[in-house]
Structure 1
Amino acid sequence: MKLKLESAHNQLIQEVNQDLLMEYTKNVSSEIRLSGTEEEYRAFEYVKAKLEEFGLDTELTLNDAYISLPGEAELKIDGQCFSCITHSMAVSTMQQGIEGEVVYAGKAVSANYEDTPVQGKIALLDGLAIPGAVLQAQEAGAKAVIFINAEYTHEMIVSAVWGNPTPVTQKALPSIPVVSVNFEDGKIIKEIVEKGSCSGWMKTQVDTKWREIPTLTAVIEGNIEPEKYVMFSGHIDSWHYGVMDNGTADATIIEVARILAENKEKLRRSLKLAFWSGHSHGRYAGSALYCDEHWEDLYENCVLHINIDSVGGQGATILTEANCMAETKDLAKRFIKELAGDDFEGSRFGRAGDQSFWGPGVPSLFMGLSEQPKSNNPASKAFSQLFGGGKAGGFGWWWHTTEDTLDKISPENLVRDCQIYLSIVYEACSCDILPINQLAAVEELESFIRDYQTKTNGHLDFSVTFMRIAEIKEKITEFQSLTDLPLSKEKISLVNNTIVILSRILVTLNYVKGDRFHHDAALKQSPIPVLAECEKLAVLEAGSHEFYLVLTELRRNLNKVNYSFLEAIRTVKYAVEQLK
Structure 2
Amino acid sequence: MTTSEEQAVMNTAVVDHAWSLVEAFGRMRRQDPQEAAAAGEEIARRLQALGLPVTVHRPRLYLAVPKDAHVTLGGQRFRARPAQLAQTAPGGLTAKLVFVENPVGPPVGWTPNSAVLFGEGYDPAPGVPDVTGKIVLFRGMILAEKILHFAALGAAGVIAVNPGPDMHWGSGSAIWGTPDLDDLPGRTPIPGCAVSRPDGDVLIEAAQRGESATLTTIVEEGWFDQVLPEVRIPGEEPDFALLHGHYDSWDVGVGDNATGDACMLEVARVIHANRQHLRRGVRICWWPGHSTGKFAGSTWYADEFARDLARHCVAHMNCDSPGCRDATDYPTIPWMAENRAFVTDAVRDATGKVAGGKRPTQSSDFSFNNLGISGCFSASSRIPKEEVERRGWYFVMGNGGNTAWHTDRDQMEVADPGVLLTDIRLYALALFRLATLPSIPLDPGALVADLQGHLQRYAKAAGDRFDLSPAARAFDDLARRLRAFEAANTDPAVATRVRLAVLRLLVPLDYTRGTRYRRDFGLPAPPLTHLAVAAELDRYPPAALGFATTSLKRGLNHALAAVEAAAEAIP
TM-score scaled by structure 1?
0.90
Among 179, 190, 199, the residue aligned to 2:212: 199
Among 89, 96, 100, the residue aligned to 2:95: 100
Paired residues for 1:132-143 under 5 Å? 132-143=145-156
The aligned counterpart of 1:288 is 299
Q: Deviation at 1:533?
A: 1.9
Counterpart Cα distance in 2 of 1:35 and 1:504: 36
Q: Contact conserved, 2:25 with 2:252, CA < 8 A, in 1? A: no
Local SS of the residue matching 1:532: helix
**Against the structure 1 CA distance between its residues 182 and 545, is the aligned structure 2 distance closer, same or farther, given a 3 Å change threshold?**
closer
Counterpart Cα distance in 1 of 2:86 and 2:218: 9
The aligned counterpart of 2:120 is none
Q: Tell whether 2:568 aligns with 1:562.
A: no
Paired residues for 1:401-550 under 5 Å? 401-483=407-489, 485=490, 491-540=491-540, 544-550=542-548
Q: Deviation at 1:314?
A: 1.4
The aligned counterpart of 1:168 is 182
Local SS of the residue matching 2:557: helix
Q: Contact conserved, 1:73 with 1:204, CA < 8 A, in 2? A: yes
Q: Percent identity?
A: 26
The aligned counterpart of 2:144 is 131
Among 5, 8, 13, the residue aligned to 1:11: 8
**1:58-95 Cα deviation digits (max 9, x unpaired):** 22122222200011223212322222222322333243
Q: Contact conserved, 2:395 with 2:403, CA < 8 A, in 1? A: no
Q: Tell whether 2:172 aligns with 1:158.
A: yes
Among 320, 326, 331, the residue aligned to 2:342: 331
The aligned counterpart of 1:305 is 316
Q: Contact conserved, 1:28 with 1:46, CA < 8 A, in 2? A: no
The aligned counterpart of 2:119 is none
Give RMSD over aligned pairs.
Answer: 2.2
What residue identity is the alignment partner of 1:91?
Q
**Against the structure 1 CA distance between its residues 335 and 506, is the aligned structure 2 distance closer, same or farther, given a 3 Å change threshold?**
same
**Against the structure 1 CA distance between its residues 455 and 393, is the aligned structure 2 distance closer, same or farther, given a 3 Å change threshold?**
farther
Q: Deviation at 1:45?
A: 1.6
Counterpart Cα distance in 2 of 1:401 and 1:94: 22
What residue identity is the alignment partner of 2:473?
M
Q: Deviation at 1:113?
A: 7.2
Q: Deviation at 1:382?
A: 5.4
**Against the structure 1 CA distance between its residues 373 and 126, is the aligned structure 2 distance closer, same or farther, given a 3 Å change threshold?**
farther
- For structure 1, which segment, 240-249 or 112-121, has the greater mean C-alpha deviation from structure 2 after superposition? 112-121
Q: Deviation at 1:178?
A: 1.9
Q: Contact conserved, 2:478 with 2:566, CA < 8 A, in 1? A: yes
Counterpart Cα distance in 1 of 2:288 and 2:442: 29
Q: Tell whether 2:360 aligns with 1:343.
A: no
What residue identity is the alignment partner of 2:431?
V
Counterpart Cα distance in 2 of 1:289 and 1:165: 11
The aligned counterpart of 2:72 is 76
Aligned length: 550
Counterpart Cα distance in 2 of 1:304 and 1:451: 28
The aligned counterpart of 1:322 is 333
Q: Deviation at 1:138?
A: 1.5
Unaligned runs of 5+ in 2: 107-124
Q: Tell whether 2:20 aligns with 1:23.
A: yes
Local SS of the residue matching 2:59: strand
Q: Contact conserved, 2:167 with 2:407, CA < 8 A, in 1? A: yes
**Against the structure 1 CA distance between its residues 61 and 376, is the aligned structure 2 distance closer, same or farther, given a 3 Å change threshold?**
same
Local SS of the residue matching 2:41: helix
Q: Contact conserved, 2:82 with 2:192, CA < 8 A, in 1? A: yes
Counterpart Cα distance in 2 of 1:472 and 1:58: 42
Unaligned runs of 5+ in 1: 486-490, 575-580
Q: Deviation at 1:106?
A: 2.3
TM-score scaled by structure 2?
0.91
- For structure 1, which segment, 407-416 or 267-276, has the greater mean C-alpha deviation from structure 2 after superposition? 407-416
- For structure 1, which segment, 252-261 or 555-564, has the greater mean C-alpha deviation from structure 2 after superposition? 555-564
Q: Deviation at 1:114?
A: 5.4
- For structure 1, which segment, 109-118 or 560-569, has the greater mean C-alpha deviation from structure 2 after superposition? 109-118
Local SS of the residue matching 2:227: strand
The aligned counterpart of 1:488 is none
The aligned counterpart of 2:243 is 232
- For structure 1, which segment, 83-92 or 293-302, has the greater mean C-alpha deviation from structure 2 after superposition? 83-92
Q: Contact conserved, 2:333 with 2:379, CA < 8 A, in 1? A: yes
Q: Contact conserved, 1:446 with 1:469, CA < 8 A, in 2? A: yes
- For structure 1, which segment, 413-422 or 26-35, has the greater mean C-alpha deviation from structure 2 after superposition? 26-35
Q: Contact conserved, 1:307 with 1:367, CA < 8 A, in 2? A: yes
Q: Deviation at 1:376?
A: 5.3
**1:132-165 Cα deviation digits (max 9, x unpaired):** 1111122222222222112211111111111111
